[in-house]
């Protein structure tokens, strides 16, 4: 009986032992899993808990310690570039070319990355893309499309990363303005009180558009309906306004005013927009071109659909019956919906006082030497620089190509090159895709001029020239049948050519003391190196008709 009972007992024990052991295994595994999760959570969140505990304790002590964060703006930069335009961008690339690990900080009060300004009054207006104000892309005369921005955002590094960037880079701080400069302390102050110290600094603050005093005194309503054209935002605003008004008046007959007049004039051919241009001179570009060529240009602008009012001096501007009334000094009255003031540029020298830098009394701008240096570690480039040209004397130039050339030179000199300004920059202007000119040196209609012209062919246009050369931006493009008698002109009136209406293509020489100091190539392209050499040589020429042959204006 006992063995049988023992067997029964053993069976019962095994029957209950098995599930019990399973339970023990599950409990054991659950325990270890719990311990593992607890350990993980403690190690993962202990620092946070510590910070929270510290924060709570600090709050009780009424002394909260802020958790340190990466500064949005570096407190120091080896190279500080004030201004975000063409000159600054050219300088940044030049610095990085000579010092590959350089750390460069650009500070600009504009919201945009560095961009080129010429398309704002030229190619963008001729775009067929309805979204051009958003894309800011345009087709160049050579048919290739590009953006107005020099480089995409990926080209730059963020200001926060500049300090720690192992290989350096270029950072752009947008929407910030330098308001004070401590030259002795090598530091600047921004409009938000942030201070940045530097080793070397470039001032490339450009200029601000001038306005007529009569407009400034006319009140807020007139100012609201007036555009001072300079920035991307101005292009966008004028594009929008011009599509929703009946008439627009451009005041100014220089480069910008004439380009905008032609651009808006072409738009008026497809709409009911009335485009008016007025200026005090006798013709378009009257301060630059000889009178006969200025008159021809005026006729060209009129053919673009523009109503031109020459010899117009504005006496007052008022707002009446939802129209702007422009009263001229000779009694004429012009009614319009919107005004574009294109009456010149004022160099931005706001930092001169705090920095103790000299402003040139004749030309304006910061006065610098031939190396574009204002102080031992401060350089100036672009529109704001009044520099010494070793060939033409002291000058200040307001053109895109000068910004490229002077910015590049300043960047080289900031890295120890010590080069003088000797490379003559050029500038260009296009009155649509059919007429354009390039110029170099001092081009002033008050100087004596000699012009040599020939009949233009189909290839003598900005569009054809860029298609043939493959270039797009004219400032980077440096790499005709029957001749008409040459014209020698001097004040007060030029000698009239035999065929006064045919200025298809040609060369205009500007003289000072019988030496060529400026040259305009009228519908003659890709010949700028020749013009540059003539000015650099500084020689007297007995027969400029022979010199004109160097430009091949008579070739078939």
The 10s digit of each residue's pLDDT in 105-120 is 999 999 999 999 999 9
- Tokens at residue 119, please? 């398309």
Provide CB contacts within 8 A for 405, sequence distance 6+: 90, 421, 423, 425
What are the helix and strand counts (H, E) for the chain?
14, 29
HSE of 252 in the Cβ direction (CA atoms, 13 Å)?
A: 23
Residue whose token pair is 């080129």 = 116
Name 517's Cβ contacts closer than 8 Å, sequence gap at least 6. 392, 441, 442, 447, 510, 511, 535
Task: Please state the separation of Cα 137 from the chain's center in Å.
Answer: 14
- pLDDT tens-place string over residues 250-285: 999 999 999 999 999 988 888 889 999 999 999 999
Q: How far is CA 24 from CA 9, 33, 35, 188, in A?
A: 22, 14, 16, 73
Select from 556, 395, 398, 422 the least CA-distant residue to 483.
Answer: 556
211-343 folds as FAD/NAD(P)-binding domain (3.50.50)
pLDDT (mean) for 411-423? 94
Q: Which residue did the predictor score with more confidence, 512 or 46?
A: 512
Write the CATH number of the domain with boundaries 76-114+149-208+347-414. Answer: 3.50.50.60
How far is it, in rounded angstroms, from Cα 367 to Cα 359?
5
Percent of the chain exceeding pLDDT 90 equals: 69
Write down the mean pLDDT value for the chain. 85
pLDDT tens digits for range 120-154: 998 899 888 999 999 999 987 677 899 999 999 99
Closest CA to 153 of 134, 171, 131: 171
Amino acid 55: pLDDT: 35
Q: What is the pLDDT of residues 354-369, one digit of tens each?
A: 999 999 999 999 999 9
- Among 55-59, 404-408, 483-487, which range has the highest average pLDDT? 404-408
Can you tell me whether residue 254 is helix, strand or coil? coil
Q: Is the dihedral of CA 263, 269, 274, 277 positive or negative?
A: positive
Q: Give residue limits of the domains in the chain.
A: 1-68, 76-114+149-208+347-414, 211-343, 426-551
pLDDT category at 31 given cuts 50, 70, 90 is low
pLDDT of residue 534: 96
Written as six digits, the tokens of 494 are 């030029």
Judged on CB neighbours under 10 Å (0-12, 13-18, 19+), 122 is: buried
Residue labelled with tokens 């129209």: 323
| 174-198: pLDDT as tens digits | 999 999 999 999 999 999 999 999 9
Is the pLDDT confidence value at 547 over 70?
Answer: yes
Q: How many CB atoms lie within 10 A of CB 482?
A: 9
Q: Sign of dihedral through CA atoms 335, 339, 344, 347?
A: positive
**Confidence tier at 472 by pLDDT (50, 70, 90):** low
Summarize pLDDT for 475-491 with one digit per residue, the tens: 543 333 323 333 433 33
Task: Specify the CATH number for 426-551; select among 3.40.50.300, 3.90.1150.10, 3.30.310.80, 3.30.390.30.
Answer: 3.30.390.30
Residue 234 CB neighbours (<10 A): 16
For residue 398, what is the DSSP state? -
Would 76-114+149-208+347-414 and 426-551 be classified into the same CATH topology?
no
Q: Which of 264, 78, 273 shows the shortest CA–CA distance to 168?
A: 78
What are the pLDDT digits (tens) for 283-320? 999 999 999 999 999 999 999 999 999 999 999 999 99
Residue 120: DSSP 8-state: G
Mean pLDDT of 6-14: 52
| CA 367 to the chain's CA centroid | 22
pLDDT over 70 (residue 48): no
Average pLDDT of 429-445?
85
Predicted local confidence at residue 65, as pLDDT: 42
pLDDT reported for residue 9? 53
The number of C-alpha atoms within 13 Å of 233 and in the hemisphere containing its C-beta is 6
- Which phi and psi (to 5°) does residue 150 adopt? -65, -40
pLDDT in tens, 60-101: 443 444 444 445 899 999 999 999 999 999 999 999 999 999
pLDDT reported for residue 268: 87
């Amino acid at each position: 009986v006992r063995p049988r009972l023992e067997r029964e007992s053993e069976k019962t024990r095994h029957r209950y032992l098995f599930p019990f052991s399973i339970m023990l295994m599950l409990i054991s595994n659950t325990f270890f899993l719990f311990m593992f999760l607890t350990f993980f959570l403690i190690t993962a969140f202990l620092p946070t808990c510590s910070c929270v505990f510290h924060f709570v304790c600090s709050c009780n002590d009424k002394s909260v310690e802020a958790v340190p964060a990466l500064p949005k703006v570096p407190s120091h930069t080896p190279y500080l570039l004030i201004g975000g335009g063409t000159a600054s961008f050219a300088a940044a690339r030049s610095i990085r070319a000579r010092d590959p690990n350089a750390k460069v900080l650009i500070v600009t009060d504009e919201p945009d990355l560095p961009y080129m300004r010429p398309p704002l009054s030229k190619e963008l207006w001729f775009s067929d893309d309805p979204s051009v104000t958003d894309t800011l892309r345009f087709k160049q005369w050579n048919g290739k499309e590009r953006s107005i921005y020099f480089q995409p955002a990926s080209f730059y590094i963020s200001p926060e990363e500049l300090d720690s960037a192992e290989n350096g880079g270029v950072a752009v701080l947008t929407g910030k303005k330098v308001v004070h400069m401590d030259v002795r302390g090598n530091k600047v102050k921004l409009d938000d009180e942030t201070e940045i110290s530097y080793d070397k600094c470039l001032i490339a603050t450009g200029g601000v558009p001038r306005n007529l005093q009569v407009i400034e005194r006319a009140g807020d309503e007139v100012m609201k309906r007036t555009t001072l054209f300079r920035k991307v935002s101005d292009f966008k605003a004028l594009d929008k306004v011009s599509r929703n008004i009946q008439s627009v008046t451009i005041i100014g007959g220089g480069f910008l005013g004439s380009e905008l007049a032609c651009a808006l004039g072409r738009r008026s051919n497809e709409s009911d927009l009335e485009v008016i241009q007025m200026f005090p001179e006798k013709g378009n570009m009257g301060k630059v071109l000889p009178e006969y060529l200025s008159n021809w240009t005026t006729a060209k602008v009129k053919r673009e659909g523009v109503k031109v009012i020459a010899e117009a001096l504005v006496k007052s501007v008022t707002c009446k019956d939802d129209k702007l009334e422009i009263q001229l000094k000779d009694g004429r009255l012009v009614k319009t919906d919107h005004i574009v003031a294109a009456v010149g540029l004022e160099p931005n020298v706001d930092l001169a006082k705090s920095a103790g830098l000299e402003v040139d009394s004749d030309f304006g701008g910061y006065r610098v030497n031939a190396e574009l240096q204002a102080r031992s570690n401060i350089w100036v480039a672009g529109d704001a620089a009044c520099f010494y040209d070793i060939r033409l004397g002291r000058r200040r130039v307001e053109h895109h190509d000068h910004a490229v050339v002077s910015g590049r030179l300043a960047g080289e000199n900031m890295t120890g090159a010590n080069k003088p300004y000797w490379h003559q920059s050029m500038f260009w202007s296009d009155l649509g895709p059919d007429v354009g000119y390039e110029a170099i040196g001092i081009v002033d209609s008050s100087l004596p001029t000699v012009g040599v012209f020939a009949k233009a062919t189909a290839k003598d246009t900005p569009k054809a020239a860029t298609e043939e050369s493959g270039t797009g931006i004219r400032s980077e493009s440096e790499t005709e049948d029957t001749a008409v008698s040459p014209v020698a002109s001097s004040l007060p009136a030029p000698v009239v050519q035999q065929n006064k209406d045919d200025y298809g293509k040609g060369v205009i020489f500007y003289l000072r003391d019988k030496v060529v100091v400026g040259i305009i190539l009228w519908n003659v392209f890709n010949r700028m190196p020749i013009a540059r050499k003539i000015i650099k040589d500084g020689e007297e020429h007995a027969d400029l008709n022979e010199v004109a042959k160097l430009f091949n204006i008579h070739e078939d």
